[in-house]
Structure 1
Amino acid sequence: MRGNSADEGTAMSSSAATAPPVAFGRLSLVVKTARMYHEEGLLQPEIAERLNMTQSRVSRMLKEAARLGIVRTVVASPPGLYPELEQGLRTTFDLRDVVVAEAASDSEAGVLSSLGAAAASYLEGTLRSGERIGITSRSASLFAMVDALGPVTTGGAEVVVQTLGAVGNPAMQVRATRLTDRLSQLTGGEPVYLPAPGVVASKAVRDGLLLDPYIAEAVAAWSGLTMVLVGIGSAKPSPLRASWGTALPQRDLDRLIKLGAVGDVCLNFFDAAGDLVDARLTDRVLGIGPDELRAVPRRIGVAGGPGKVDAIRAAAAGGWINVLVTDHFTARRLVDAQP
């Protein structure tokens, strides 16, 4: 069935309100043509033969049926899909794309598997041949994505570049390198690692490390990225974040919160409006900076859970992301919170 055909009475009353009057005989023929095509599944040449008319006239009849409201197309979304929420978020935050995943429970840990599966599916469906992918090393959502991702069989990446140095406890630092390595294997891209700490004591230390050829290779690759996969961190404490180890000393976190920080992307901390709150910290971070990040054509944020709402909203407002993968609980909060 190609569409929903109204009965003749409905068609005539609808046409009277939306278009000039149509002769009864012609209207009857339009309805008959529409029923043959949409309900009986006949092809246009078959309809033309049955009704003794040209195929071009059949085509005109079908277009007229749509214009008069005789045929209406209805897209029925299966359970577990949220097109209205996705459209609402796209419009509200001026995003390039949004994927809303159904989550089993409304908690930071509970949404991880759903986010990972949705992000993996999105990546598989939109990855183009020759992509230059950046990936942050500090995101439970991105670890879940890579766990759910299968080998890419069409197209493939050119390179997969680490966009943030190692942060957190030693076990997480090892996993960060493995994340880049695993994504490169699955997408076919050459891995480019960032063998450096994510945060150092001063700008002078950072500048010295940038002279290392391996670090310099990764940094140089950031300017050519076609897409970047990022988590969105919240400035609020959480059990999941605590399990990764602290990325910054507590005194730095306290100062950032006093300055109005609500979240971060690659340790670029921003306030509720999405504006960078502390350029001095950026000078100590070995990771992709604000200008380089915002210059990447596709900036895909994967995040969800009740503690991430303010951070996600700010990341979208500030242009830190232009594609969002989130869960349906978080999506509703983001939409409902708008004036």
Structure 2
Amino acid sequence: MVTASTPSPDHLRLLVKVARMYHERGLRQPEIAERLNMSQARVSRLLKEAADRSVVRTVVVSPEGVHAELEEALVKEYGLRDAVVADAGGAGTDVIPALAAATATYLDATLKGGDVIGISSWSATLLEAVNVMPAKTNSVAHEVVQIVGGSGSPEVQLHATRLTSRLAELTGARPVFAPCAALVHSRELRDLLSKEPDVAEVMQSWGRLTLALVGIGTLEPSPLLRRSGNAITPEDKRQLEELGAVGDVCTRYFDAEGRPVNADFDDRIIGIEPDQLRAVDRRIGVAGGEAKVAAIRGAARGAWINILITDADTAKALLKNP
């Protein structure tokens, strides 16, 4: 049981990460602050807390449930900027609660102010993350922007809206909604919608992003995406399989090496373009579970993400067959 004096596993994970970077890898505090996108004062406080809690002695000791070695191995193997590995409790466990908690802690620690955050609209994991994320006392973001169409079936529309509005509320930012579907019926309709003032505004804001927070999907749409009406059809799925696609970020599909695949429905998507996404400085991908290993690997190989938040079993699978 976690009490007021007992830090959460996610906070312990952050203590261990900072301590290892400083004591074992010899990085200076300003370097650590830059790499983890936090203030130098916070790095100093975390190092002191690590010593107070006996995390730092003559060596760095990882508490149970903290996977610093896996995180460092993922960074090295896939050329990531950072990695967070959550302990989800073993095979067969629902990984969403652990990933959500890890994501909330990571954002709480690394959002410093002035960020323009792009967020994918249809992720149950990201929705759970904002549900458990604490509110910041000061504004740490300028805007929270939907980077793929956020309109869908009325019964699930509120999920996409809440995800964006709640993250904006927590970070003191202005929410910017994409008032259209992610996948429309024709290229002509996409072109017409793109000229609408509200849609044009959100598309222009994609060029200002400093951080993208995205889920990583497989060819099998998630229940939330399917219910939204933005999922691909069975015919689209068959074509993607023929093209060698393994996963997607914001409805942009890629193969096992992370190369974009050109599906027939690409010109019907209202969402951030692949090159535009990969130009964002920090691209946080949140995903886990056995079914998503190939998709996560492709997303990392193709630089769709450069920060990964996943679970321990998935991390081991990614390192077993990189």
TM-score band (shorter)?
0.7 to 0.9
Residue in 2 that maps onto 1:95: 80
Q: Percent identity?
A: 49
Q: Quick check: 2:122–2:225 contact (8 Å CA) kept in 1?
A: no
Superposed CA RMSD: 1.9
Unpaired runs of 5+ residues, structure 1, are 1-71
In the alignment, does 2:276 pair up with 1:292? yes
- Please state how far the C-alpha of 1:244 moved relative to its aligned partner: 6.0
In the alignment, does 2:123 pair up with 1:144? no
Residue in 2 that maps onto 1:319: 303
Q: Of 265, 278, 282, which residue of structure 2 is paired with 1:281?
A: 265
Residue in 1 that maps onto 2:108: 124
AA aligned to 1:323 is I
Report runs of 4+ in structure 1 exceeding 2 Å deviation: 104-107, 166-174, 236-246, 279-282
Q: Quick check: 1:235–1:261 contact (8 Å CA) kept in 2?
A: yes
Q: Quick check: 1:234–1:262 contact (8 Å CA) kept in 2?
A: yes
Unpaired runs of 5+ residues, structure 2, are 1-56
AA aligned to 1:144 is E
Q: Distance in 1 between matches of 2:126 and 2:171?
A: 14
AA aligned to 2:135 is P
Cα deviation 1:237-256 (Å, max 9, x = unaligned): 66676566661122111111
Residue in 2 that maps onto 1:174: 158
Q: Quick check: 1:166–1:173 contact (8 Å CA) kept in 2?
A: yes
AA aligned to 2:85 is V
Cα deviation 1:33-84 (Å, max 9, x = unaligned): xxxxxxxxxxxxxxxxxxxxxxxxxxxxxxxxxxxxxxx9411111111010
TM-score w.r.t. the length of structure 1 is 0.75
Q: Distance in 2 between matches of 1:168 and 1:285?
A: 14
Cα deviation 1:245-299 (Å, max 9, x = unaligned): 6611221111111111100000000000101111643321111110110011000
In the alignment, does 2:95 pair up with 1:111? yes
Residue in 2 that maps onto 1:27: none
Residue in 2 that maps onto 1:223: 207
Cα deviation 1:192-249 (Å, max 9, x = unaligned): 0000011112222111001111111100000000001000001146667656666112
TM-score w.r.t. the length of structure 2 is 0.78
AA aligned to 1:86 is E
Q: Distance in 2 between matches of 1:190 and 1:94?
A: 32
- Please state how far the C-alpha of 1:177 moved relative to its aligned partner: 1.2
Q: Distance in 1 between matches of 2:73 and 2:152?
A: 36
Q: Of 73, 76, 80, which residue of structure 1 is paired with 2:65?
A: 80
AA aligned to 2:239 is R
| 1:195 aligned counterpart, secondary structure | coil
Residue in 2 that maps onto 1:234: 218
Moved more, 162-171 or 259-268: 162-171
Q: Distance in 2 between matches of 1:155 and 1:182?
A: 14
Moved more, 252-261 or 310-319: 252-261
- Please state how far the C-alpha of 1:169 moved relative to its aligned partner: 4.2
The size of the alignment, in residue pairs, is: 266
